[in-house]
Amino acid sequence: MTKPVSVTVSSGVAVSAKSTSKTPSDHVAVFNLAADGGTNNAGINVVSANTAFSACEVSGHETGHGTLKISHGLRLLTRTTRSVSPNGGRRTPASHHRPAV
């Protein structure tokens, strides 16, 4: 069994990844919970103690697609896909977007 990875920092970015690939289906990161079961097991769990800001921030510059794609499969028989754009699809000024890491 592989040991879990844990990173703790007192300031700055704890983990950063960057890819310049343009190959289809390449991603910067993939998290795969490759087991079925567990009533509260999640592929990604975002937790923040910061009461002044959101626990998770998603931004993008897509055209023709939403910034966040949420897919839900039910026993691999039914699949519903929904794209969600920030601010209901309205564009925000570029100053609101953070540069790629």
- Give the separation between CA 7 and CA 15, rounded to whole angstroms: 8
Per-residue pLDDT of the chain (101 residues; tens, 9 = 90+): 789 999 999 999 999 999 999 999 999 999 999 998 888 898 899 999 999 999 999 999 888 888 888 887 765 544 445 555 555 555 444 444 455 55
Q: Residue 4: left (phi > 0), alpha (psi -120 to 50), or beta?
A: beta
pLDDT of the residue at 8: 95
Give the other-Cβ count within 10 Å of 35's Cβ: 7
CB 69 within 8 A of CB 62: no
